Amino acid sequence: MRKVKWGVVGAGGIADRRTIPGMMLAKNAELVAVMEINMEFAERIRAKYGAKYAYDNALDLINNPEVEAVYVASPVLYHVEPAIAAAKAGKPLLCEKPIAITCEKCKAVIDACHEAKIPAATGFMMRYGAYNMAIKKLIEDGKLGQIVSARSQFTCWYPDIPGAWRQDKAQSGGGALMDLGVHCIDILEYLTGGKTKEVSAFIDTKTFNYNVDDSSSVMIKMDNGVVGYIDNHFNVPDNAARCRLEIYGTKGSVMAENTLGQEDGGRVEVILSEDKEYDANQTRIENQKKDPEFKLNVEFGNMYTREIESFSDSILNGTPVNVPIEDAVHIQSVIEAAYRSSESGKVEKCD
Ligand SMILES: NC(=O)c1ccc[n+]([C@@H]2O[C@H](COP(=O)([O-])OP(=O)(O)OC[C@H]3O[C@@H](n4cnc5c(N)ncnc54)[C@H](O)[C@@H]3O)[C@@H](O)[C@H]2O)c1
> pLDDT tens for residues 260-278?
999 999 999 999 988 888 8
What percent of the chain has a predicted confidence (pLDDT) above 90? Answer: 93
Give yes or no: residues 182 and 79 share one domain: no
pLDDT in tens, 62-112: 999 999 999 999 999 999 999 999 999 999 999 999 999 999 999 999 999
**Which contacts qualify for 340-349: CB closer than 8 Å, 24 or more apart?**
341/199, 341/200, 341/201, 342/201, 342/202, 342/203, 342/204, 346/200, 347/198, 347/199, 347/200, 348/198, 348/199, 348/200, 349/197, 349/198, 349/199
pLDDT in tens, 46-62: 999 999 999 999 999 99
What confidence score (pLDDT) does residue 259 get? 96
What confidence score (pLDDT) does residue 225 get? 97
Cα–ligand 1 centroid distance for 16 (angstroms): 10
Q: Is the CB of 16 under 6 A from ligand 1?
A: no
Nearest CA to 263 among 309, 302, 307?
302
Residue 18 structural domain: 4-118
Q: Is the CB of 20 under 6 A from ligand 1?
A: no
pLDDT band at 289 (very low <50, low <70, confident <90, very high): low
- For ligand 1, mutation pick of 37, 124, 158 (most atoms within 8 Å of CB): 37
Give yes or no: residues 180 and 70 share one domain: no
**Which contacts qualify for 140-145: CB closer than 8 Å, 24 or more apart?**
140/193, 142/251, 143/251, 143/252, 143/270, 143/272, 143/294, 144/247, 144/248, 144/249, 144/250, 144/251, 144/252, 144/253, 144/254, 144/272, 145/249, 145/250, 145/251, 145/252, 145/274
Cα–ligand 1 centroid distance for 44 (angstroms): 16
What confidence score (pLDDT) does residue 282 get? 80
Beta-strand relationship, 227-233 and 215-222: antiparallel
pLDDT band at 185 (very low <50, low <70, confident <90, very high): very high
Last residue of a domain, one of 56, 87, 118: 118
Residue 170 has pLDDT above 80, yes or no: yes
What confidence score (pLDDT) does residue 287 get? 67
pTM for the model = 0.97
Mean predicted confidence (pLDDT) in 170-184: 98
Please answer whether residues 124 and 184 qualify as being in contact, where contact means their C-beta atoms are separated by less than 8 angstroms: no
Residue 293 has pLDDT above 80, yes or no: no
What confidence score (pLDDT) does residue 231 get? 98
Ligand 1 nearest atom to the CA of residue 18, by list position: 3
Last residue of a domain, one of 87, 118, 149: 118
Structural domain contains residue 29: yes
Give yes or no: residues 240 and 263 share one domain: yes
What confidence score (pLDDT) does residue 283 get? 76
Cβ-proximal residues to 244 (8 Å cutoff; 6+ apart), any chain:
151, 152, 153, 255, 256, 257
What confidence score (pLDDT) does residue 273 get? 87
**Bigger pLDDT: 297 or 96?**
96
Round the average pLDDT of the chain to a whole number and report it: 96
Cα–ligand 1 centroid distance for 240 (angstroms): 26
Give yes or no: residues 144 and 224 share one domain: yes
Mean predicted confidence (pLDDT) in 221-235: 98
Cα–ligand 1 centroid distance for 320 (angstroms): 26
Ligand 1 nearest atom to the CA of residue 14, by list position: 16
Cβ-proximal residues to 203 (8 Å cutoff; 6+ apart), any chain:
177, 213, 215, 216, 217, 218, 338, 339, 342
Mean predicted confidence (pLDDT) in 110-121: 98
The protein residue with its alpha carbon nearest to ligand 1, atom 10, reads 73
Give the CATH number, domain containing residue 25: 3.40.50.720
Give the CATH number, domain containing residue 201: 3.30.360.10
**Bigger pLDDT: 212 or 273?**
212
Quote the number of domains for the chain.
Answer: 2
Last residue of a domain, one of 118, 151, 168: 118
Q: Is the CB of 183 under 6 A from ligand 1?
A: no
Point out the least confidently predicted range of 178-187, 243-252, 267-276: 267-276
Q: Is the CB of 74 under 6 A from ligand 1?
A: yes
Letter for the amino acid at 329? V
